[in-house]
Structure 1
Amino acid sequence: MMKTKQRALVVCPGRGTYNKTELGYLQRYHHQQQSWITQADNYRSAQQQITLTELDSAEQYSLKQHSAGDNASSLIYACAYCDFLAIDQDEFEIVAVTGNSMGWYISLAVAAAMESMDALTLINTMGNIMHQSLMGGQVIYPLVDANWQLIEGRRAHLLEMMTAINQQTDCELYISIELGGMLVFGGNELALKQLTEVLPPEQERFPMRLFNHAAFHTPLQQGVSSQAKQLLAQDLFQQPKIPLVDGQGKLWSPYSTDPALLWDYTLGHQVIGTYDFTKAIQVGVKEFAPDKLIILGPGTTLGGAVAQSLITINWLGWQAKEDFIERQKTDPFIISMGLAEQRSLIAPA
């Protein structure tokens, strides 16, 4: 009798997930994927870039080097893709894939909408373009309280604030990412300065400016989008083998996907329009009813945003942070591969 596999929705991480504690992630977990890592290193060497192995095995973490777009993007991709390859496919059936921001590019490789080395070309190219232009930046601010409950009137107030800032000369401010219980603003320097001055400090860490991040997912990236479409051919894309949920909550299925439209979305709207990660998670669980939600490493920062997205729709009866924590203690629904104790639940050592 065949064993019933658990259905899993895979979530791919974005920028900012490879930090000091993640140094050595590839060495620590991915000896079995060494041939793939060597391929990636050879690609980087051919581009006259520092290899992923050199970055990962550095003696100490360098914020300037490890978080720079031309390095961070490919390093995070390598960690996440190798994590995906490490999932026990005898135990889990991957029913759909989604990701946050740059995680969309990773999800294209995971779902086989691109060959893994073509996805590296995409990610490395986008990382380089972003690093060279570094137009604007991002600031995060919460929509929820410490118990992950929506703060009444908070969203409307923030949107009013954004409108007022945009009425000032030379200010451009947009919603970059809907990130569970947080809003990520993207804008030019003048607008971000105005925003951080008017936002009251909260939870001892907000408003939080993201280091080495451009104004991703805003019209300020129109030049990046145009350049990417010139550099990256449509034939890098193909129909996925696993369903994808994008940053608008749209499904791309294996049989009905037009690769040309996937190319256009990935290098068009996905670059210059709001990325609704909250909606992507909510659509993913509603459409595919997974038994587990697997967040690929590196890092562990995405679990909160995923849980907050689920609390908003009362998934599994969760209404607050404590409901999530209680469930995670006994039978975790969200499994983060960046956490060693959770990783062991899904990836053979």
Structure 2
Amino acid sequence: MHTVALALSDGVPLFELAAPCAIFGGRRAESAESWYEFVVCGQRGARVDRWFTAATEHTYEDLVAADTVIVPACHDSQHRPPADLVAAVRAAHDNGARIVSICTGAFVLAEAGLLDDRRAATHWLYASMLAARYPAVTVDPAVLYVDEGDVLTSAGKAAGTDLCLHVVRRDHGAAAANQIARRLVTAPHREGGQAQYSALSVPRSAQDDLAPVLDWAIENLDQPITVEELAAKARLGTRTLNRHFHARLGTNPLQWLHNQRIRRAQELLEQTDLAVDTVARRSGFGTGAALRRHFRRALDTSPDAYRRTFAQHPAARGDEVAVLSELG
């Protein structure tokens, strides 16, 4: 069983603990055959915010043996993070663990040397401090999270939830992550490159106008969709539409469409027995060859290999309509 260890240090904010506990330590997704063994590691009696003390029985020695280590925000970024926590995180990584940070937990990873010559995210308020203190780190102050494979970092609070769901998606597939997101009543997927906050120059009404356009596009992914069509639906010029997409979603309309098509293909591969060519048509890629090419580029795997890893096959009942209705 894959062990996820949450690193507890004195004064850690409650919110950054809550999301990993709910996602990795809660009831597993029904679509996943197995789930995580979740442990909280730290000093017994450590303070959580100003209100609670921890009663964990697991220490940093247990953290070193984990498969995934999650480091939440440091309580005081003005000072160096605790040396024993830094040493444990470094040792866990040396043992092959995947290391994940939330908000200013990135300072722990940087102190351990795990972010040298890598891109990293943290809360935008602390991005300049992280960059100044650790010049070998390429800090991106705008994005929600950064996935560097064995080291992942996120911005503050809600972005930590996004990153945890991203990890579940990597481990157990899109359907499992979506089930957990629905249980938490949160967005099932926000792109890591999405901006932490919208540009002030974009009127809120214009951002709100994107919602029906996005819904329409998702409902019609099997059809050719152009930027001009999206702009017409939003009653905007194409340049203005591009600005709104970048401000709200951190990407351009074509890349957003491509990401939605990939996710639709993932869901169909997981939840149906449809042939790859049919999956390609229903997700808007047209042909199986095109789907394989884009799938390899986006996920570094093939549709067939992805299906073997994450297939649930609810369509074996022959109720394909119910499956597609669930996807909507």
Normalised by the length of structure 1, the TM-score is: 0.26
Q: Which has the higher contact order (CA 8 A, sep 6+)?
A: 1
Bigger Rg, which one: 2
Normalised by the length of structure 2, the TM-score is: 0.28
